[in-house]
Amino acid sequence: MTVKEARDILGLDLTATRQEITRAYRRAARRWHPDRAPANREEEYRSRMQQVNAAYQRLRDFLEHYRFRLEDTETGEDVEEWWRDRFYTGVWGRPVKMPSAGDEESEPTDMGKAKPGKPR
């Protein structure tokens, strides 16, 4: 059984957490358990429950043996800027980007300006 077939049997999307996989399995197990089968359909329910168990086991094995990359990767893209570009669209438009403390090229705001004649 492939991972795609297992996802289809459990009714999962392309991405799912372990909790979502477990919930989908339990939902399918309640639906297809042979003890809940109507009269003369026990064999169909038994077969379907075996598929549900196999699908759940396949996804659990896949997660257990999946190899993760254990290093930080720098994408070079500012996450906040990426978010603003995609989601700050609306009536008021994009908000003004506030200068951070480490920006040398940005001009100081009124609060950051020194008073004339007084040293900082």
Low-confidence ranges of the chain (pLDDT < 70): 71-77, 79, 82-83, 86-120
Q: Is residue 39 one of the residues assigned to a domain?
A: yes
Q: Which CATH number goes with the domain that contains 45?
A: 1.10.287.110
Q: Is residue 110 one of the residues assigned to a domain?
A: no
Paired tokens of 70: 């254990």
pLDDT score of 65? 87
Q: Is residue 113 one of the residues assigned to a domain?
A: no
- For every residue of 85-114, DSSP letters joined together read HHH--SSS-SPPPPPPTT-SSSPP-GGGSP
Paired tokens of 39: 């009269």
Q: Is residue 49 one of the residues assigned to a domain?
A: yes
* Domain assignment of residue 19, given as a range: 3-64
Number of domains in the chain: 1
d(CA 106, CA 60): 52
Q: Is residue 95 one of the residues assigned to a domain?
A: no
Single out the residue of 12, 33, 37, 35 nearest to residue 22, CA to CA. 12
Q: Is residue 60 one of the residues assigned to a domain?
A: yes
Q: Is residue 9 one of the residues assigned to a domain?
A: yes
